[in-house]
């Protein structure tokens, strides 16, 4: 068994002395996968989450984490990174996001930990951005995808293959967090056709480039009343709130909800 490089001859933790090594180009990539509820997944992609643009925020967080890895992982060397990037690959069938971090430097040691830290922090940031809608979101894996450069050469991870479910064990849907019932949700009247009107309202917001936070503020209405309906937690938007939102958008309530016969 090879000796762990971060332990000295007495078994004590120590930072590896890399000064004798020649600087070479070092590249690494890592991925993290986070599985969301359908509503949280759609909001993450839409950029309309209550806290703002989920993917943009997670991308910045991942890049910052790559640069600060040596401050988080005790025995990592501070490195001058020449590149750090975050990309997202949505999986519509699973309502999941695959986050891929890529990092590069020219130096005497590798950037695997920088890539892994970037992917991990980006996934944690996605969770933080959507937890108001989906506290049951799961970061199901973090792994190194590839690395190159240095004495150990090139590494490529094996492609993932989904395990086949056992015949005797039925596949059950992932449980969703039970939403907290708000006062306006219990008292609001039921929408004529909540799913259709919710979809119509989202399309209306997209067409007119209305952000939930800014629209609610301009209409002087509570954001949670608008967002509760958009996320599916509320059956309807209270009539007074709907009137103010429509007025702020310069349309009728029927137009806002895509009701037939509206103009």
Strand pairing partners for 83?
104
Locus of tokens 């492609």: 159
If we measure between CA atoms, which residue out of 226, 263, 224 comes closest to residue 244?
226
Has 128 been annotated as catalytic?
A: yes
Q: What is the 3-state secondary structure (H, E, C) of 201-217?
A: HHHHHHHCCCCHHHHHH
DSSP strands (E only) in 92-158: 96-107, 138-148, 155-156
**Contact criterion met (CB below 8 Å) for 101 and 29:** yes
C-alpha–C-alpha distance, residues 87 and 63, integer Å: 11
C-alpha–C-alpha distance, residues 54 and 125, integer Å: 8
C-alpha–C-alpha distance, residues 245 and 240, integer Å: 9
Q: Which is the catalytic residue, given 17, 91, 128, 134? A: 128
- State phi, psi for 88 to the nearest 5 degrees: -120, 140
Catalytic residues: 128
């Amino acid at each position: 068994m090879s000796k762990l490089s971060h332990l000295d001859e007495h078994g004590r933790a120590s930072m590896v002395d890399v000064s004798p090594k020649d600087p070479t180009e070092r590249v690494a990539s890592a991925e993290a996968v986070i599985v969301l509820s359908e509503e949280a997944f759609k909001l993450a992609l839409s950029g309309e989450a209550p806290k703002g643009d989920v993917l943009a925020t997670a991308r910045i967080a991942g890049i910052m984490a790559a640069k600060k890895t040596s401050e988080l992982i005790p025995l990592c060397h501070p490195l001058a990174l020449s590149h750090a990037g975050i990309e997202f690959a949505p999986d519509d069938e699973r309502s999941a996001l695959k986050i891929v971090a890529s990092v590069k430097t020219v130096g005497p040691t590798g950037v695997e930990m920088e890539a892994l830290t970037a992917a991990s922090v980006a996934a944690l940031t996605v969770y933080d951005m959507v937890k108001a809608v989906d506290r049951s979101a799961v970061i199901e894996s973090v792994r190194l995808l590839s690395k190159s450069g240095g004495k150990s050469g090139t590494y490529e991870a094996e492609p993932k293959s989904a395990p086949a479910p056992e015949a005797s064990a039925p596949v059950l849907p992932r449980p969703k967090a039970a939403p907290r019932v708000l006062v306006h949700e219990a008292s609001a009247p039921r929408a004529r056709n909540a799913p259709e009107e919710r979809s119509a309202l989202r399309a209306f917001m997209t067409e007119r480039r209305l952000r939930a936070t800014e629209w609610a503020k301009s209409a002087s209405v509570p954001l949670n009343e608008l967002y509760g309906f958009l996320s599916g937690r509320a059956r309807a938007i209270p009539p007074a709130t709907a009137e103010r939102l429509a007025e702020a958008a310069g349309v009728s309530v029927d137009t806002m909800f895509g009701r037939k016969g509206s103009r």
